[in-house]
């Protein structure tokens, strides 16, 4: 049966799912905006509708529509154009502070890790839920209450507004995660997201049930699994049912460790000679009674200690940036396993982009351009079809941690670790920085995400000061700020359709030797996630609508 609609039109005709059912997908954008403006809430029955029928029944429906609509596809296209023209994005009014609608922190402190901080948060493409990543190697999905959580938000008390609808546990630290770009709650086939973790293949998860759909495994020259540092879906395909023909792109560092060791040891050969001399000089003062037991904690502890000393002396940035090359691997979604295409970021003459590829962004205008950020403080612009390097952008003070194209695809925004500025590049010129957007991130190693609103006019970013800063992208000027937490705001994401945002906060904390009980004494606005609502007006109206 079809859910009844109180308003709105069908955005398209029937969509056939792989199982043979016929799906009707309603214009979510128009319905979201209309009901949010009129009532301030959403009703699932008014936003989603699915019609399941047999093949014969679907053919009869199509024949009936053809008889009643002789214009055929032309009339359907005209209806879609009219629907798009009638829809107007909500214009967020940044001159007034937002209201905290929902708040979460308690459910992240029940595990053994006392400092289970957030690593990022992202809205789903259809706006029905958001996904968080945390230090406990878990991904949590939170549905908006109008999508099945019939609860009232609790932001003033000691309890969370509501619990997560899904918790997916990974085996190791989560490096990156991303939604399928055409995910829709009305089509269960598209409700998936991908994640990559340390020493594990890429996982494609079912966002509804939490089941593992499939894995994509990358192997190096030694036939060992290579973990991806960053992943992203390409924007190919215009219909949700074509998702199986998309691509999943990952980046990893290849042939790096042996090359790093060779370069480091060759540069400090004279220091090694000094160390050997010290060893021989001190050999006569060795107390052999301490050799029993020789390795009380096993050989694994020896390797761990050697690794810690090596990274402490050389530094992680030196190790990451000295890697010989990085490999970009492209997987077809309908072919899980170890089959992939591979491209190097270095040319035959060893010119190109070095270091670990830590961020991936596709141009939203489908112009075939792709941007890759590296820990070597560079951003490369490539062609998507053959991964040809067009040019490399230099100027970031730290390793690139997040990149994003503007809505028109003409500008690129890059941010780095321990870098207080987000740089704006005009990719049509790619010579000088257009302007810089300040954020407080000089003294934190935490990866800080930023986002651009659906209208493409403003950018929001967090910082270690707990504030969210909003900038006008046309002028590069600061617009407003509001305090979202008492610690580092590392995640920020605009809702794709409504005047809402979600933030996540937290950073790594170390318990000092004087703290015997190991209690961090965290407050409710630390290591937390919050949903915020803004005042807004439609694109054609000048009067603001207060949602507070």
Strand order in the sheet with 129-134: 118-123, 129-134, 138-143, 166-169
Q: What is the pLDDT of residue 255?
A: 39
The tokens 């708040």 sit on which residue? 103
Asked if pLDDT for residue 24 goes beyond 70, the answer is no
- pLDDT tens digits, 223-235: 888 889 999 998 8
**What is the DSSP track for 431-488?**
SSEEEEEE-S-TT--S---EEE-TTSSEEEE--TTSEEEEEETTT--EEEEEE--SS-
The tokens 């994640």 sit on which residue? 195
374 Cβ contact partners less than 8 Å away, ≥ 6 residues apart: 326, 345, 353, 354, 355, 356, 357, 358, 380, 399, 400
Which class in CATH covers the domain with range 99-253+325-344+439-510+517-537?
mainly beta
- Give the whole-angstrom CA distance, residue 485 versus residue 480: 16
470 touches 85 (CB < 8 A): no
264 touches 272 (CB < 8 A): no
Asked if pLDDT for residue 68 goes beyond 80, the answer is no
Asked if pLDDT for residue 289 goes beyond 50, the answer is yes
Q: What percent of the chain has pLDDT over 70?
A: 68
- Give the whole-angstrom CA distance, residue 123 versus residue 132: 9
Q: What is the dihedral of CA 341, 123, 147, 505, to 10 degrees?
A: 130
119 Cβ contact partners less than 8 Å away, ≥ 6 residues apart: 133, 134, 135, 174, 447, 490, 491, 504, 506
Q: What is the pLDDT of residue 540?
A: 52
441 touches 448 (CB < 8 A): yes
Helix (H, G, I), strand (E, B) or coil at 77: helix
Give the Å distances, CA to CA, from 544 to 94, 437, 515, 535, 541: 11, 27, 50, 7, 8
Nearest to residue 440, comparing CAs of 415, 457, 459?
Answer: 415
Give the Å distances, CA to CA, from 427 to 328, 390, 397, 474: 22, 10, 19, 15
Average pLDDT over residues 116-134: 94
Asked if pLDDT for residue 86 goes beyond 90, the answer is no
Q: What is the pLDDT of residue 49?
A: 35
- Give the whole-angstrom CA distance, residue 532 versus residue 30: 21
Asked if pLDDT for residue 202 goes beyond 90, the answer is yes
How would residue 258 be classed by pLDDT, with cut points 50, 70 and 90? very low
The listed range with the strongest mean pLDDT (283-287, 381-385, 543-547) is 381-385
Nearest to residue 256, comparing CAs of 171, 362, 374, 349?
Answer: 374
Residue 195, CA atoms < 13 Å, CB-side half-sphere: 30
The tokens 């770009």 sit on which residue? 181
Strand order in the sheet with 325-332: 230-233, 247-254, 325-332, 341-344
Count Cβ atoms below 10 Å from residue 5 Cβ, excluding itself: 15
The listed range with the strongest mean pLDDT (20-24, 124-128, 281-285) is 124-128
- pLDDT tens digits, 416-462: 999 999 999 998 887 789 999 999 999 888 999 999 999 999 999 99
- Give the whole-angstrom CA distance, residue 364 versus residue 382: 14
Q: What is the pLDDT of residue 191?
A: 94
Quote the pTM value.
0.73
Specify which residues 400 forms β-bridges with. 416
Nearest to residue 452, comparing CAs of 490, 503, 405?
Answer: 405
- pLDDT tens digits, 485-536: 999 999 999 999 999 999 999 988 876 666 555 566 788 788 999 999 999 8
Domain with CATH 2.130.10.10 in the chain: 99-253+325-344+439-510+517-537
216 touches 204 (CB < 8 A): yes
Helix (H, G, I), strand (E, B) or coil at 233: strand
**Rounded (5°) CA angle 436-439-443:** 120
């Amino acid at each position: 049966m079809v859910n009844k609609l109180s308003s709105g039109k069908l955005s398209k005709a029937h969509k056939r799912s792989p199982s043979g059912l016929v799906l009707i997908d309603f214009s979510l954008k128009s319905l979201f905006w209309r009901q949010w403006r009129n009532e301030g809430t959403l009703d699932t029955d008014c936003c989603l509708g699915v019609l399941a029928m047999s093949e014969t029944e679907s053919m009869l429906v199509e024949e009936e529509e053809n008889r009643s609509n002789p214009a055929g596809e032309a009339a359907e296209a005209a209806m879609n154009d009219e629907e798009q023209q009638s829809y107007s994005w909500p214009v967020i009014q940044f001159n007034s502070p937002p209201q905290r609608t929902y708040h979460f922190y308690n459910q992240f402190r029940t595990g053994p890790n006392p400092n289970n901080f957030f690593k990022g948060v992202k809205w789903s493409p259809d706006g029905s839920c958001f996904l968080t990543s945390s230090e406990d190697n878990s991904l949590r999905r939170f549905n908006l209450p109008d999508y099945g959580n019939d609860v009232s938000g609790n932001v003033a008390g000691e309890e969370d507004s509501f619990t997560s609808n899904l918790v997916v546990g990974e085996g190791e630290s989560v490096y990156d995660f991303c939604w399928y770009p055409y995910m829709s709650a009305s089509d269960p086939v598209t409700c998936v997201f991908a994640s990559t973790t340390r020493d594990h293949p890429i996982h494609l998860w079912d966002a509804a049930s939490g089941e593992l759909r499939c894995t994509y495994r990358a192997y190096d020259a030694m036939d060992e699994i290579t973990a991806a540092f960053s992943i992203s879906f390409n924007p190919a395909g215009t219909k949700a049912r074509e998702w199986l023909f998309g691509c999943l792109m990952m980046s990893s560092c290849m042939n790096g460790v042996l090359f790093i060791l060779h370069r480091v040891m060759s540069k400090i050969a004279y220091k090694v000679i000094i160390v050997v001399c010290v060893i021989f000089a001190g050999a006569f003062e060795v107390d052999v009674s301490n050799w029993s037991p020789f390795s009380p904690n096993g050989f694994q502890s020896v390797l761990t200690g050697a690794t810690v000393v090596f990274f402490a002396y050389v530094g992680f940035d030196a190790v990451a940036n000295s890697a010989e090359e990085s490999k970009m691997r492209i997987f077809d979604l309908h072919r899980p396993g170890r089959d992939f295409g591979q491209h190097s970021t270095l040319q035959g003459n060893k010119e190109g982009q070095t270091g670990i590829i830590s961020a991936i962004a596709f141009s939203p205008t489908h112009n075939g351009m792709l941007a890759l950020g590296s820990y070597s403080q560079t951003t490369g612009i490539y062609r998507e079809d053959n991964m040809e390097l067009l040019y490399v952008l230099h100027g970031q003070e730290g390793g690139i941690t997040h990149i994003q194209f503007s809505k028109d695809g003409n500008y690129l925004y890059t941010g780095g670790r321990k870098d207080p500025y987000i740089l704006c590049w005009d990719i049509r010129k790619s010579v000088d920085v257009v302007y810089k957007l300040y954020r407080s991130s000089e003294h934190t190693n935490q990866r800080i995400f930023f986002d651009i609103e659906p209208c493409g006019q403003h950018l929001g970013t967090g910082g270690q000061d707990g504030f969210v800063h909003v900038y006008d992208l046309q002028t590069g000027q600061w617009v407003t700020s509001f305090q979202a937490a008492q610690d580092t705001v590392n995640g920020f994401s605009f809702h794709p359709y409504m005047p809402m945002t979600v933030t996540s906060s937290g950073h790594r904390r170390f318990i000092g030797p004087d703290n015997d009980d190991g209690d961090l004494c965290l407050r409710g606005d630390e290591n937390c996630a919050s949903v915020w609502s803004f005042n807004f007006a439609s694109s054609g109206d000048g009067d603001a609508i207060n949602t507070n």
